[in-house]
Amino acid sequence: MRVTVFHNSIPASITAAQKLMKLLKSGHFELDERHPEVVVTIGGDGTLLSAFHRYADQLNSIRFIGVHTGHLGFYTDWRDFEIEDLVIALKEDSGQSVSYPLLDVQATYADATSAHYLALNESTLKRLNGTMRTEVYIKGDFFESFRGDGLCVSTPTGSTAYSKSNGGAVIHPRLDALQMTEIASINNRVFRTLSSPIITAPDEWVTLEPTGRDDYVMTVDQFVINPPTIKQIRYKIAKERIHFARYRHMHFWDRVEDAFIGAKH
């Protein structure tokens, strides 16, 4: 098995990564940073997001494992004091995995160029100075004229992140759905939006056509993109999926309870 270890720079993560790599070498695993079969991330959800984008072009052949060195994350199943148990699980690996949907982002610019991105959590469109104005289409049909600070389109796993802070629903990641949430929309006698999160079907897509401005900012997960003048952004469920090695993959609703309620503790 080809394995690589991807970690952040905090001391606890570095220590855990050094211990894991030593055990992997003694266990005769092949350490392969370029073309791994398993990527073990050590840190938190942000570390796993970074690893996802690092290996986004190899998603069909990679499974991820998250080790957290802080608070329990939505993508991390192991703790840093369980490194030995993790290596045992890797030795007994039979290829088991669970997969979740991703967000396909296709941006077209006024100069006829385009860009394509994959998001694990969400993508947003905002305007730096003043109110954002954009036409919203669902599956090619006009839906509304949006006025406000911005819009957030998330995956089911991303529904617990920025989307939730904007009033979005928490969606189970086995559902192939997108969710669009408004960021401080304007609703009055002149401007009117649905003013509610929208959850689309698997065969639907959301298209934004903002008013021609050069001060829009687009985000894809933790990355901030200052694009040329945007003509159109299309969001849909990606054909690619992220795969996690399923040794003891924590139940989604247990993660939600632990992260936001904590009544079991």
DSSP 8-class letter at 213:
-
CATH superfamily for 2-96+246-261 is Probable inorganic polyphosphate/atp-NAD kinase; domain 1 (3.40.50.10330)
163 is in an annotated binding site: yes
Could you give the CA distance from residue 96 to residue 111 in angstroms, rounded to a whole number?
A: 45
pTM above 0.85, yes or no: yes
159 is in an annotated binding site: no
Cβ–Cβ under 8 Å, residues 260 and 74: no
β-bridge mates for residue 5, sequence order: 40
Of 154, 158, 137, the residue nearest 146 (C-alpha): 137
Digit-coded pLDDT (tens) for 124-143: 999 888 899 999 999 999 99
Digit-coded pLDDT (tens) for 206-255: 999 998 777 899 999 999 998 788 999 999 999 999 999 988 766 788 88
Q: Catalytic: which of 32, 45, 57, 221? A: 45
Radius of gyration of the chain (CA): 20
Digit-coded pLDDT (tens) for 86-136: 999 999 999 999 999 999 999 999 898 999 999 999 999 998 888 999 999
pLDDT at 51: 97
Pairing relationship of beta strands 132-138 and 122-127 according to DSSP bridges: unpaired
Q: So where are the chain's domains?
A: 2-96+246-261, 102-239
187 is in an annotated binding site: no
CATH superfamily for 102-239 is Probable inorganic polyphosphate/atp-NAD kinase; domain 2 (2.60.200.30)
Residue 45 is a catalytic residue:
yes
137 is in an annotated binding site: no
Least confident of 20-24, 82-86, 143-147, 189-193: 189-193
